Amino acid sequence: MTRGRKTGKSLAEIKNPNQQGSGSDMKSMLIPMLLIAGVLGGLQFYRSKHTQPLQAPAAQTQTAQPAAAAPAASGAAPQAATATVGATQTAPAVTAAAEQTTIIENELYRIEFTNRGAEVKSWILKRYKDNKGVPLDLVHGGAAREFGAPLSLYTYDSGLTAQLRQALYVPSVTGKLTAPQTLTFKYSANGLDVTKTFRFDESYLLHADVVASRNGSPVRALIAWPGGFGDQDQVLDYNGSQLESSSEGKTSHVAFAKVSGGKTLDGPLDYVGVVDKFFGAVFIPDNPQTATAVSLHQTIDVEKLKRGTAITSTTPTGKVATVPIIGTALGDVSGHTQARIYAGPKSYTILHTISTTGGETLAPIVDFGFFGVVGKPLFFALHFVQEHVASNWGWAIVVFTILINLVLLPLRILSMKSALKMQRLQPQMDAIKARYAKFKVTDPKRADMNAEIMQLQKDNGVNMFGGCIPTLIQLPLLIAMFSMLQEVVELRQSHWFWLHDLTAADPFHILPIVMVVSQFLVQFYMPSPGVDPQQQKMMAFMMPAFSGYMTWNYSSGLALYWCIGNLIMIVQQYVMNQSPLGREMRQIAAKRARRKTQTIQGKR
């Protein structure tokens, strides 16, 4: 913890007086700030842009089929065309006469299927909204047109893949339906037979059963989510997409830049899917041992992604502006794919209830970052406060911050006592240092000086690190909160006064300004008389500037947590300094400052 300048009304110092001289003081103040900057910078490094050459979709051709009447399916089944194709075709073709749609919905989603490719046109999550305030659609039309829509089929033959995406399947039912429901699509032509069956219930899960064959032989047709996923207005946020997978309980988080297009992942596979910051589409195979997956990585022009058009945008250097699109496909080596599909929010409370065939859950998809061992318990505690104390997430952060500071209060009191003991010993430590002042820093005699000082502290029950304990605890808490508050979907679009999204930066920068002022007050009320005045002035501005930058650009939830913590710290320190312990510390600090001033004047 850094210190501000000394004034007549300043509060007591909490520091390690054993660290004397400008070099040691500078290190003690810079280390926490450099640690925070280094860790937070590393957490953001993986978001750097990465592009690959745009791959154009394979040319697609379609042969017209003679139309004929087909038997009616259950419910409101459409009429299909049956025909004999070619002189050698013996089985009747099963294809639809025209493109049709089927809508399946429950309280959580509304999924619109098209029989062209038997794939999804839109996948709307009713409980989540985009930046325009309308229900969030997980499918991006522009990316789907380029690379395929969700639940389309992927094969290792690009021509066959294009044929399957253009085929007009015969659906078992059309119109608008409510889950639980079963929807089947069938297609048969030129020796190719495909059946896709989907079962829906009241949750975010659905079950897929896909069988494909050609001339009686199984076809490795994998069910795919090719890309174009999540918040549609945040186009560049696709840079934050990841490929998630788990094999025999070992999870893997692969950032978009490291996803290899067309790479096959062999089983066993507990699950595989693509996620963005807040949402995920995950395949959970019924047979993990024989499951296989393919990772997909494409790039697309930004304007195509935004508008679904062929408009090409360029950068100032004249290059086409592109963003990465990653996806995945899951199949079975037998050619018969059976799997559950989760498409919804990356909510830990939901994902930890979804088990794979091997008994694992989808909870690891929520990545709490490098400090996840701290961030996960923090989230559980914050979620408990939100459920049982304050229903609003903003107020939950406020209450949670107060509780954390109350827990740390005894440690701050112990730190204050340790600092007072150290100050009482300071004259004796100064006398020891004076005896060894004639020796150079590299002289072995300096080791004897350090040994004497440590023995003096030990004899008087002084722990030289006692004053650092609160700081050592607060740093990992702050870094863990930084990662956690940006990643949990529960805080997405959560309101608190003027803040409309606690995972995004403060749009009016009110909290960063409060942060700078409060950080300056922390420096002002916690002086370091032993530190060079010029260094005090520099740190009094560097720390507020650093904290202001962090809260200006990142999660407003983090800014709220940090600001409330600073204000509580100022109040606590003020109260502590009115105690006999605090008054004694101020007296010792003032006496040392006068002695130092007299020494300097005497030298002049």
pLDDT in tens, 35-48: 665 655 555 554 44
| pLDDT score of 107 more than 90 | yes
- 16 pLDDT band, cuts 50/70/90, is very low
Query: Both tokens of residue 243?
Result: 């490929």
Q: Any residues with CB less than 8 A from the CB of 18 and at least 6 apart, and which?
A: 422, 429, 453, 457, 464
Query: Both tokens of residue 453?
Result: 């000082």
CA torsion sign for 316, 319, 320, 321 is negative
Q: Any residues with CB less than 8 A from the CB of 480 and at least 6 apart, and which?
A: 368, 369, 371, 372, 374, 375, 378
For helices 469-487 and 556-576, what crossing angle results, to 10°? 160
| pLDDT score of 100 more than 60 | yes
- Would you call 181 helix, strand, or coil by DSSP? strand
| pLDDT score of 80 more than 60 | no
The more confident residue out of 284 and 595 is 284
- Per-residue pLDDT reduced to its tens digit, 208-220: 999 999 998 999 9
Give pTM, 2 decimals: 0.76
Q: Which domains does the chain have, with CATH numbers?
A: 22-43+378-603 (no CATH), 80-368 (2.70.98.90)
According to DSSP, residue 364 is labeled G
Residue 90's CB: how many other CB atoms inside 10 A? 8
What pLDDT is stored for residue 553 in this prediction?
86
| pLDDT score of 548 more than 70 | yes
| Mean per-residue pLDDT, 544-553 | 87
- 349 pLDDT band, cuts 50/70/90, is very high
Helix H or strand E segment including 439 = none
| pLDDT score of 479 more than 60 | yes
The more confident residue out of 9 and 137 is 137
According to DSSP, residue 168 is labeled B
d(CA 55, CA 69): 40
d(CA 389, CA 548): 30
Residue 313 vs residues 147, 298, 321, 354: alpha-carbon distances, Å = 19, 17, 6, 42
Which of 54-68, 184-198, 315-329, 417-431 bottoms out in mean pLDDT, i.e. has the lowest? Answer: 54-68
For helices 533-553 and 510-525, what crossing angle results, to 10°? 160
d(CA 491, CA 185): 39
d(CA 2, CA 28): 8
What pLDDT is stored for residue 604 in this prediction?
56
Exposure string for 2-13, b = 16+ CB within 10 A, e = fewer: bbbbbeeebbbb
Burial of 567 (0-12, 13-18, 19+ CB in 10 A): middle
Highest mean pLDDT out of 19-33, 244-258, 589-603: 244-258
Residue 267 vs residues 251, 275, 323: alpha-carbon distances, Å = 13, 20, 30
Residue 423's CB: how many other CB atoms inside 10 A? 22
The more confident residue out of 237 and 437 is 437
- Per-residue pLDDT reduced to its tens digit, 428-447: 888 888 888 888 888 888 88
| pLDDT score of 352 more than 80 | yes
- Would you call 332 helix, strand, or coil by DSSP? strand
What pLDDT is stored for residue 20 in this prediction?
41
| pLDDT score of 166 more than 60 | yes
What pLDDT is stored for residue 7 in this prediction?
41
The beta strands (E) that lie in 115-227 are given as: 119-129, 135-137, 152-154, 170-171, 175-178, 181-189, 192-200, 205-214, 217-218, 222-225
The more confident residue out of 41 and 453 is 453
What pLDDT is stored for residue 34 in this prediction?
61
Highest mean pLDDT out of 29-33, 62-66, 167-171: 167-171
| pLDDT score of 413 more than 60 | yes
Query: Both tokens of residue 221?
Result: 């047709």
Work out the mean pLDDT of the chain and round it to a whole number: 79
Highest mean pLDDT out of 125-134, 293-302, 502-511: 502-511
Highest mean pLDDT out of 256-260, 315-319, 526-530: 256-260
The more confident residue out of 556 and 91 is 556
- 160 pLDDT band, cuts 50/70/90, is very high
**Helix and strand element counts for the chain (H, E):** 13, 22
- 601 pLDDT band, cuts 50/70/90, is low
Q: What is the CA radius of gyration of the chain?
A: 32
What pLDDT is stored for residue 89 in this prediction?
46
